[in-house]
Structure 1
């Protein structure tokens, strides 16, 4: 079963009028009939949509030969009066019995495949893939589960400290979302956040994280514990129309939290609108918040973009930190990012610091700030004040002399 949609038909109607459009549809129908076999069926659903039922197709390859003829037939120029009109078509195809469903579902699957053909560039056909559809359905079901979990308050924030490797000062904590799944237990962000990418739920989760982080800092402040916090913000949420307004409203809800206690971490993105990103960050900076560029070195930022982007901090991706003690390439990359940050007058923080040895090497390279499992694993809010006291009392950072680079000692 083939679902055809003409590419550019609306433009023909808009440019030449509906009478020309109607004559074009008649001509396209004739072209299609000329390439179909005697037992095949052609029907117009309405507008510029057609359905072709190919009978007795012996193989996928045979079907594709007919589809190639269909594309060529539709693309043939049509003379209407003294006007030559050209259109193409996008075709979605569902094959029975490979796609073993009822006729209505076959038509729906062909329609879905047609949209894939449209998105792939038009003037082509796309075979419906039952496996891809199964994955897509599972994705939709998981999104619904995430929406329900958000409504049931199943998510929580854990907090990972960021410290100064030179004097041990605690610079703040990063808020990291976790899911208390009813059956699977505590899930890390990698288990569910990728499913949100580009979906409207991404904004809802972004709002929840921002509000929950500010609420926690406010509660700590009420208890006499003052600390800065950073949260991750997706490009989709950052560039939503009401992001700055929501940020201002959230800050206003917690007057005991100074705006400069909040840092928003953004990622480099090939799809992001550079000018809109810069404008949004500038507007938010006027509220008093700070920005960091997360996972630096793994994305798409040009030096010109970095120069213009109003961020104060670059975060070196942990993939470079992890092997910097054994890989000269990774060590050189880390050193290059540190030097680049200095050139652009940005702070730099290393992610993924797992040992005292890493900390010593980073400090020797001039990297002042760090976070990672070797300093502290993400912890629940109640554990943060005690951890801060122990960090100051133990003074582990004082062991970060050049000689420590030869030790294999886990930082507490």
Structure 2
């Protein structure tokens, strides 16, 4: 892959052209002519007072400038442009009806690029325009792009970062600068030569570009233009500007993805070459308010990350860095726990509301850390999701729960197991194949397995999800929507889903039977479910008043601490036997 070709290369007729003239008719005539030539990105300005600010903000490739204008003339505009770092090299073609040599000399001294006489000769304008833009494109390539990788260099990076900061300040949005620091290049050069080292850098640049263009990065950050903020700012440094930052986790996610690419050895010259790397992150406005300060802070953070060993990520901010270290330590422990199968399952009984017999169990993932003790799923599940572990972890949960259900059935305890499926697991291309594997390997009766989806999963990408749900039904599985009622967007689709069960979220059970709002919502869900032929399970039942009200309303099944906390597999089986030995157990 040629990295240089992946960088934003605009043909000349896509160049941004601006024109400042106090006569609108002149602007209109020039615009019509330029559009005939194929130049469609044109902006005309008639107010010379505000013109400089607009030109600096737009950063055009070329400016047509009238000299004689009221309030602020063309000479003053030209002087301000040349004194501004962002526009000091902007090509400016002066349009003048004057043949006064003194005016032309003054304009040249101020930095005018060329002159065109009014009225403008169209052929001459076309020739001058193309020549100047061609020269500018060549100069830009030399001045603003790294000759080896084709990426923007430090100079262009500073200009673009300055523009991004202006937008961030205007929109009151955060921004992050990621400094990816390579080390080990000297060893590569000494071992294989400078030619191989150059090829390695080009391949690294290409891989990093593909990484920030990948669908998971785009989806996580909500930004499909991250790659435009990537530069090579030193022999062993790459820099990525992440604009419109919503949270620090986005910067962490991108940094982790970049490092994951570099953990895989690069294959060159029939050799696998490993290069170590780390990432330092600075954020606006906490760590700096100008390009130089943010770039320096990110570089310092990368240097500190390097002290911690290969593939470390560190924020410049000490507080954020502590949180990052904690998250990365937890991620490492999660990976180890998954490899060692240190997780275990707990099962919360689900009872028939009328008979109070155990008919099912909700499967709950649990983790006891060797040093911290029990870790709440509310803590470790988000880390598993952001680090890409949920698909593997979800597969383990599904297989283990199916195996347990098969064992219970073998022991004479015939209950269903409800298994929550994460969005990452459900949306993976391997989901159906993974479920088939679990069913085949464990030998469980699919009719005794309930797949639970959250409401948000169910209503995203509806057409595709309905197809997947029908595939699950074809395998003999039961389907449930968990936490129903927390998002009303599913009501318009629920009739099309092949569902067997709806679970009412605990938030609507808490107020029963006193809260009129909760009563109305629960009653509506029960009525809708009955008409659609679906079973209803009430979650989070904690007292006798809630239980008796739900029985009166013909709710099918109940689960919650009123009956039992989540139990181990052995305790759950004993609880089932206890309930079966009594016609109507009292809790």
- Same fold? TM cut 0.5: yes
Structure 2 distance, partners of 1:69, 1:346, is 51
Structure 2 distance, partners of 1:167, 1:138, is 48
Contact 1:349 1:368 survives alignment (8 Å)? yes
1:262 match: 449
2:565 match: 377
1:12 match: 10
1:325 match: 513
SS of aligned partner of 2:541: coil
Matches within 5 A, 1:236-247: 236-247=424-435
The match for 2:408 among 203, 206, 220 is: 220
Matches within 5 A, 1:264-303: 264-269=451-456, 272-303=460-491
1:53-91: CA deviations, max 9, x gaps?
Answer: 999xxxxxxx9799549999xxxxxxxxxxxxxxx9999
1:230 aligns with 2:418: yes
SS of aligned partner of 1:192: helix
Unpaired stretches in structure 2, ≥5 consecutive residues: 1-5, 16-37, 39-58, 64-80, 88-142, 171-224, 252-282, 287-315
Higher mean alpha-carbon deviation, 330-339 vs 42-51, is at 42-51
1:35 aligns with 2:192: no
1:291-310: CA deviations, max 9, x gaps?
Answer: 10000011353323101111
Structure 2 distance, partners of 1:70, 1:308, is 43
Contact 1:91 1:114 survives alignment (8 Å)? no
Using the TM superposition, give the Cα deviation of residue 198 of structure 1 relative to its aligned residue in structure 2, in angstroms. 5.4
2:336 match: 148
Matches within 5 A, 1:114-153: 114=243, 116=245, 127=284, 130-131=316-317, 134=321, 135-136=323-324, 138-153=326-341
Using the TM superposition, give the Cα deviation of residue 343 of structure 1 relative to its aligned residue in structure 2, in angstroms. 2.3
Using the TM superposition, give the Cα deviation of residue 201 of structure 1 relative to its aligned residue in structure 2, in angstroms. 0.8
1:144-195: CA deviations, max 9, x gaps?
Answer: 3211111121100001111111122322111100002111222332221122
SS of aligned partner of 1:35: coil
Matches within 5 A, 1:168-187: 168-187=356-375
Structure 2 distance, partners of 1:69, 1:116, is 12
The match for 2:384 among 196, 203, 208 is: 196
The normalised TM-score by structure 2 is: 0.51
Contact 1:160 1:371 survives alignment (8 Å)? yes
1:210 aligns with 2:398: yes
1:47 match: 150
Q: 1:66 to 1:139 in 2, by over 3 A?
A: closer
1:359 aligns with 2:541: no
Unpaired stretches in structure 1, ≥5 consecutive residues: 1-7, 21-26, 56-62, 73-87, 94-102, 121-125, 398-410
Q: 1:198 to 1:70 in 2, by over 3 A?
A: closer
The match for 1:111 among 228, 237, 240 is: 240
Structure 1 distance, partners of 2:153, 2:556, is 65
Tell me the matched-pair count.
Answer: 341
Using the TM superposition, give the Cα deviation of residue 392 of structure 1 relative to its aligned residue in structure 2, in angstroms. 3.1
Contact 2:361 2:418 survives alignment (8 Å)? yes
Contact 2:157 2:229 survives alignment (8 Å)? no
SS of aligned partner of 2:489: coil
Structure 1 distance, partners of 2:13, 2:370, is 58
Q: Quick check: which has more Rg, 1 or 2?
A: 2
Using the TM superposition, give the Cα deviation of residue 249 of structure 1 relative to its aligned residue in structure 2, in angstroms. 1.3
Contact 2:352 2:557 survives alignment (8 Å)? yes
Contact 2:450 2:478 survives alignment (8 Å)? yes
Structure 2 distance, partners of 1:53, 1:243, is 44
Q: 1:191 to 1:396 in 2, by over 3 A?
A: farther
Structure 2 distance, partners of 1:198, 1:277, is 22
Q: 1:35 to 1:376 in 2, by over 3 A?
A: same
1:188-235: CA deviations, max 9, x gaps?
Answer: 322211223354211001100001101112222333332211110012
Q: 1:152 to 1:28 in 2, by over 3 A?
A: farther
Contact 1:35 1:70 survives alignment (8 Å)? no
Contact 2:226 2:240 survives alignment (8 Å)? no
Contact 2:352 2:556 survives alignment (8 Å)? yes
Structure 2 distance, partners of 1:140, 1:13, is 44
Contact 1:231 1:263 survives alignment (8 Å)? yes
2:537 match: 349
Using the TM superposition, give the Cα deviation of residue 311 of structure 1 relative to its aligned residue in structure 2, in angstroms. 1.2
Structure 2 distance, partners of 1:69, 1:266, is 39
Please provide the CA RMSD for this pair. 4.1
Matches within 5 A, 1:90-101: none
Q: 1:203 to 1:91 in 2, by over 3 A?
A: closer
Q: 1:150 to 1:89 in 2, by over 3 A?
A: closer
1:336 aligns with 2:336: no
1:337-383: CA deviations, max 9, x gaps?
Answer: 11121222211110001122211011112212110111111000111
